[in-house]
Structure 1
Amino acid sequence: MRSIWQTLDRTLARDIGLVCLADTIVGVSFGAIAVSSGLPIWLPMLLSVVVFAGAAQFMFVGIIASGGNPIAAVLAGLLVNARHVPFGFAVGDVLGRRWASRIVGSHLMIDETVAFALAQEEVARRRAAYWVCGAGLFVCWNVGVAIGGVGGAAISDPAVFGLDAAFPAVLLALVLPSLRDRAVRRATLVGVAIALATAPFLPAGLPVLLALAGVLAGLGPTKPSEPTEPTEPTTPGRDDTGPGREREAAC
């Protein structure tokens, strides 16, 4: 049985590394924003270990920092993470059969790990991509939150650094090669349009769920490939370039 590192090729490992780097930067931003908002440093660090869901953590901290009800903050986080229910059905085969691996794997189930797993065709590659990406992101996210929390007290406004833009930029760089396909490009444009149109009116996380409807646009008929012209068969052993062929052409 091949090891995980033998299963992952260089390109896939590089893509996972880029996402981990971007996730670290976003974690720094989250830790700095949480501490600079007046929350104790242990709270964002505890959330990062127990919850491990960036969108839900940002929403929870935002509601608490603005004086909101903690119960409302928890319910809002659960609503944002409702997308994990279909995620579980989609990647259930990569979590293993033992309860321990399924519990740990479920905790590592985030958008990035699911996306990398579903992009692989072989079961071994799906499992390797899921676990390597999940473990890497868990470590990088918590390290980033700790760094941001420590430095958050010294930064008056962490948002001025624009750290939250790093993650979308890296995701865009990973998606661009796939946009050469017409169906993928059509589905992406429809999904982006839906997300942009609904973002001002819906809570964070729901526009992303609605953007999945763009997949339906990619299921339409594609342009069939043009048939190739049949080539003239040649008789085995016959040389079409010999003198006899030249005499036929002269006649």
Structure 2
Amino acid sequence: MQNAPELPLPSSRRREMAQGLKDSFAAGLGMYPLGIAFGLLVIQAGLPWWVAPALSIAGFAGSLELLLVGLIVAATPLAAIALTTFLVNFRHVFYAFSFPLGVVKHPAAKAYSVYALIDEAYAVTAASRDTWTSWRLLTMQLAFHSYWVGGGLTGVAVAALLPGPIRGLDFALCALFVTLTLDAARTRKQVPSVLLAGLSFALTTLVLPGQALFGALLLFLLLLLARYALLRRNAKKDSRLVKETVDA
């Protein structure tokens, strides 16, 4: 009779959770101030304070939430909001190809991990070559969620004390994405992918200015597939040359 798999020891769980919390610190330093900016925008837009935590819990996606504030204020139709949500978050579909979701076994935990698969979580796992575990991954994602919700509530509280609005808060989101890109592209091997991403967005901005983000994602995917095929063909060619040289 096969023995049941042993559960991780409590000390092992604590180490994994501590590592997950440590993994969250770098991106969390950017998420919390961005959450404050989001809370400020909610109040400055004339929305109730509870909109900030409600959006952060119901739809955990920083870039989308910042965009939704403007859409709600403009009384945008629900169909347009749904389409915008799909286009903005469509990139998350591609995250699933390499995100270590398989380490999470419990159905409820896996559902939360899918829900909390944000840009920061993907960037951290993509930049790390370590072995991920369920406790480490979920702790990191829970920490990110806490940073964002806490930042939003802090922004709501700060906005109530300010005498007037603050301009330029939208740039905080752009700054965070620049930081994540630089963190993910630490070696020369990642530089071509960064250049392809820039090229994709530049081309679609000229050709499809109204759907630049969606078009850039599709074009970037095609370029990445083409690069992968080229690298694989060159690797096979080099392997064949080495084999022929050894045989000779």
TM-score by length of 2: 0.72
Give the superposed CA RMSD.
3.4
Structure 1 residues 73-92: aligned runs within 5 Å: 73-88=81-96, 90-91=98-99, 92=101
- Asked if 1:197 corresponds to 2:240, the answer is no
Matched residue, 1:144: 151
The structure with the greater share of residues assigned to helix is: 2
Matched residue, 2:34: 26
8 Å CA contact 2:45, 2:73 repeated in 1:
yes
Taking the aligned partners of 2:73 and 2:222, their CA distance within structure 1 comes to 33
Matched residue, 1:135: 142
Displacement of 1:173 in angstroms is 3.6
Aligned residues with identical type, % of pairs: 23
- Asked if 1:125 corresponds to 2:158, the answer is no
Displacement of 1:51 in angstroms is 0.7
- Asked if 1:47 corresponds to 2:55, the answer is yes
Taking the aligned partners of 2:36 and 2:71, their CA distance within structure 1 comes to 19
Taking the aligned partners of 1:14 and 1:100, their CA distance within structure 2 comes to 24
Taking the aligned partners of 1:38 and 1:133, their CA distance within structure 2 comes to 33
Taking the aligned partners of 1:129 and 1:214, their CA distance within structure 2 comes to 33
CA, structure 1 residues 104+164, in 2 after alignment: closer, same or farther (shift >3 Å)?
A: closer
For 1:84, the aligned partner's letter is H
Q: Is the radius of gyration larger for structure 1 or structure 2? A: 1
For 1:177, the aligned partner's letter is R
Structure 1 residues 135-174: aligned runs within 5 Å: 135-153=142-160, 154=162, 155-159=164-168, 162-174=171-183
CA, structure 1 residues 187+61, in 2 after alignment: closer, same or farther (shift >3 Å)?
A: same
For 1:47, the aligned partner's letter is L
Structure 1 window deviating more from structure 2 (167-176 vs 213-222): it is 213-222
Q: Extract unaligned runs of 5+ from structure 1.
A: 228-251
Structure 1 window deviating more from structure 2 (38-47 vs 161-170): it is 161-170
For 2:132, the aligned partner's letter is R
Q: How many residue pairs align between the two structures?
A: 221
Among candidates 97, 100, 104, match of residue 95 of structure 1: 104
Taking the aligned partners of 1:55 and 1:49, their CA distance within structure 2 comes to 14
